[in-house]
Amino acid sequence: MTRKINIFDTTLRDGEQSPGASMNTEEKLVVARQLLRLNVDVIEAGFPISSPGDFESVRRIAELAGDAATVCGLTRAVEKDIDAAADALKYAKRPRIHTGIGVSPSHMRDKLRITEDECVERAVKCVKYARNFVEDVQFYAEDAGRSDYAFLARVIEAVVKAGATVVNIPDTTGYSLPEEFGARIKYLMDHVDGIENVTVSVHCHNDLGMATALSLAGVKNGATQVECTINGLGERAGNTAMEEVVMGIRMHGEELDAATDVNTREFIKASRLVSSITGMNVQANKAIVGANAFAHSSGIHQDGVLKKRDTYEIIDPAEVGAGTSQIVLTARSGHAALRHRLEELGYELEGEALDEVYEAFLNLADKKKEVYDEDLESLVNERDRNESALYTLEGVQISCGFPLTPTATVTLRNQADQVVTACEWGTGPVDAMCKAVNKIVQVDNDLTEFSVQSVTRGIDALGEVTIRVTDPSGEVYTGRGADGDIVVSSTKAYLNALNRLLNDKQGQRK
């Protein structure tokens, strides 16, 4: 039978210790509700003795959780800490006191200044004292990752005999390698009398970027509880990220003989909520919940994902609440990705038509980091405008500035496939451009309206220009043009308006 792995969330305690990530009581309650939606097994709600605010947070979350989750309060191996935790948890239906002491040579020698015997004595004393208030007592062996194997086993065996129901083996500094940490857990499973009767927990930090790997190594070697946080929030480089370790267990459940009860479809919502409340932004390439976790910009990858998602995705984005895979259009995207996105937008282009839009797409993509849907619509519309054009733009160059006279050089291709160039000056760059175009096209018109707007967001967005001209009879013709260069957009728009005027006149003559 697959082992159930309990998920112990410490976002509201260890996560909040991340510099700049502190939360008030109301914010903690909002996060706690989301943790309940995630269906975590244990919520470590805070460190009650540390402040009145933390005490109140633990008390209110204990009331909120009811039977849905165990609520835990942290303490040191100090009686007044345990008293405060017990008081904060007195209304909890499933209370747990989490107490403990440092067990590494460094902690005993430099921080606590106690002997090994004194360490064992204090560990046993705090567990027994906590058992006076609650039946569920978790003991943490702080800095277990750097402790002596035999001494750690001695401490754990002593607290198990004293009544601890959960023993927490932390790699407090994130120092261990996964293989070594797994071996440490296995050593305890093999050498601690009575350990089979308690829950073995792992609490790993990310100082070397291996928190998730360390936790999974612990699970593989016998641990049945993982302590973690949303987004990997926590002291220094953070803790094991819940979304990573849970999905790791889901992907490798058979190999690990493990499963969790977490509602993974709430991960994206939880991630964004915690990020919003704490102000700690999630890096784009963060596993599972990062903005790019299910995004593909390489043409090869896009082609594979469009044919079958699991060619490049091991997780269905919907499983974590991320919706669907994202095909990000960049200069590395191929025909397949472009055709797919155009079809989603309602455009069915094949052959030469698709090649023309793809060429325009690549020209734009070389100038922008990402091409958006609005950009594609603009490119398709630009192609449609050129199809019926009597004159097409080959090039435009503007020279202007203070104290220069605005000058425009425009090159067009006419129906006879002749390339014609004209140069004119004007009161401004647009006026100079219009005069140069008119010198070639030679059709009576008045420019009556000029407007420009951004097609998409960002400094590198396409600018779409709308121009209206009137002929001598008062008929109005509208032209549009889009490009990353506003001068080119303006020239395309003006030329589009004149082409419409010319096409209309030719039709009248026929």
Task: Evaluate whether 436 touches 422 at the Cβ level (below 8 Å).
Answer: yes
Q: Looking at the 3D structure of the chain, how many domains does it have?
A: 3
**Nearest Cα to Cα of residue 147 among 168, 164, 166, 165:** 168
- Report CA 288 to chain centroid distance, whole Å: 8
Using alpha carbons, list the distances in angstroms from residue 291 to 47, 284, 325.
32, 5, 11
The tokens describing 135, both together, are 């039946």
Q: Which residues contact 303 (CB under 8 A, 6 or more apart)?
A: 334, 336, 337
CA proximity to 22, closest of 233, 230, 268:
233
Do the beta carbons of residue 423 and residue 429 sit within 8 Å? no
Q: What does the pLDDT read at residue 145? A: 97
Last residue of a domain, one of 253, 278, 303: 278
Statement to judge: residues 40 and 114 lie in one domain: yes
The residues near 73 (Cβ < 8 Å, ≥ 6 apart) are 44, 45, 46, 47, 48, 58, 84, 85, 88, 89, 95, 96, 97, 98
My answer on whether 230 and 106 are in the same domain is yes
The pLDDT score that the predictor gives to residue 219 is 98
- 225 and 359 part of one domain: no
Q: Are residues 159 and 229 in the same domain?
A: yes
Cα angle, residue 67 at apex, residues 94 and 77 outer, rounded to 5°: 20
Q: Are residues 472 and 491 in the same domain?
A: yes
* Helices 52-65, 25-38: inter-axial angle, 10-degree rounding: 30
Q: Which amino acid is at 122?
A: R
Question: Does 205 count as an annotated binding residue?
Answer: yes
**Exposed/middle/buried for 351, CB within 10 Å: 0-12, 13-18, 19+?**
exposed
**Pair (82, 226) in one structural domain:** yes
109: which residues sit within 8 A by CB, 6+ positions away?
A: none
Asked whether residue 283 is assigned to any structural domain, the reply reads no
Q: What is the mean pLDDT of each run of 10 residues along the chain (510 residues)?
A: 95 89 91 97 97 96 97 98 98 97 96 96 98 98 97 98 98 98 98 98 98 98 98 96 98 97 96 90 93 86 86 92 85 88 86 89 83 81 76 94 93 93 95 96 93 79 88 90 88 92 74
- Asked, for residue 224, whether it belongs to a domain, the answer is yes
Q: What is the CATH number of the domain that holds 417?
A: 3.30.160.270
pLDDT of residue 281: 87
Range of the domain at 444: 390-508
Quote the CA–CA distance of 198 and 181 in Å, as a whole number.
19
**Does some domain include residue 285?**
no
Q: Are residues 112 and 146 in the same domain?
A: yes
Amino acid at 153: A
Question: In sequence order, what are the residues at sequence separation of 6 or more whose Cβ sits closer than 8 angstroms to the Cβ of residue 474?
Answer: none
Q: Is residue 290 part of a domain?
A: no
Report whether 239 belongs to an annotated binding site: yes
Please check whether residues 358 and 430 belong to one and the same domain.
no
327 and 242 share one domain: no
For residue 379, which of 487, 462, 457, 296 has the smallest C-alpha distance?
Answer: 462
Q: Which one, of 163, 200, 167, lies nearest residue 182 by Cα? A: 200
Q: Are residues 17 and 130 in the same domain?
A: yes
Q: What's the CA gap between 68 and 40, in Å, rounded?
A: 9
What are 140's two structure tokens?
Answer: 């943490």
Half-sphere exposure of 370 (CA within 13 A, CB side): 13
What stretches of 87-148 adopt beta strand conformation (E)?
95-102, 137-142
The rounded distance, in Å, linking the Cα atoms of 432 and 427 is 7
At position 197, the amino acid (one-letter code) is N
CB within 8 Å of 3: residues ≥ 6 apart: 224, 257, 258, 259
Ramachandran area for residue 477 (φ above 0: left; ψ -120 to 50: alpha; else beta):
beta
Residue 509: its pLDDT value, please?
54
The CATH number given to whatever domain includes residue 197 is 3.20.20.70
Q: Are 194 and 188 in contact (CB under 8 A)?
A: no
CA distance 143 to 119: 13
How much is the pLDDT for 510?
46
Identify the domain boundary among 384, 413, 440.
384
Residues 227 and 337 reside in one and the same domain: no
- Rounded Cα distance between 23 and 57, Å, is 10
Q: Is residue 288 part of a domain?
A: no
- Residue 284 domain-assigned (yes or no): no
* Maximum alpha-carbon separation in the chain: 108
Q: Where are the alpha helices (DSSP H) in 252-350?
A: 253-256, 267-278, 299-307, 335-344
Residue after which a domain boundary falls, among 384, 413, 444: 384
Residue 440 shares a structural domain with residue 340: no
* Structural domain contains residue 302: yes
Residue 463: strand pairing partners:
454, 483
CA–CA distance, 381 with 377 (Å, rounded to integer): 6
405 located within any domain: yes
Q: Which two tokens stand for residue 58?
A: 């633990």
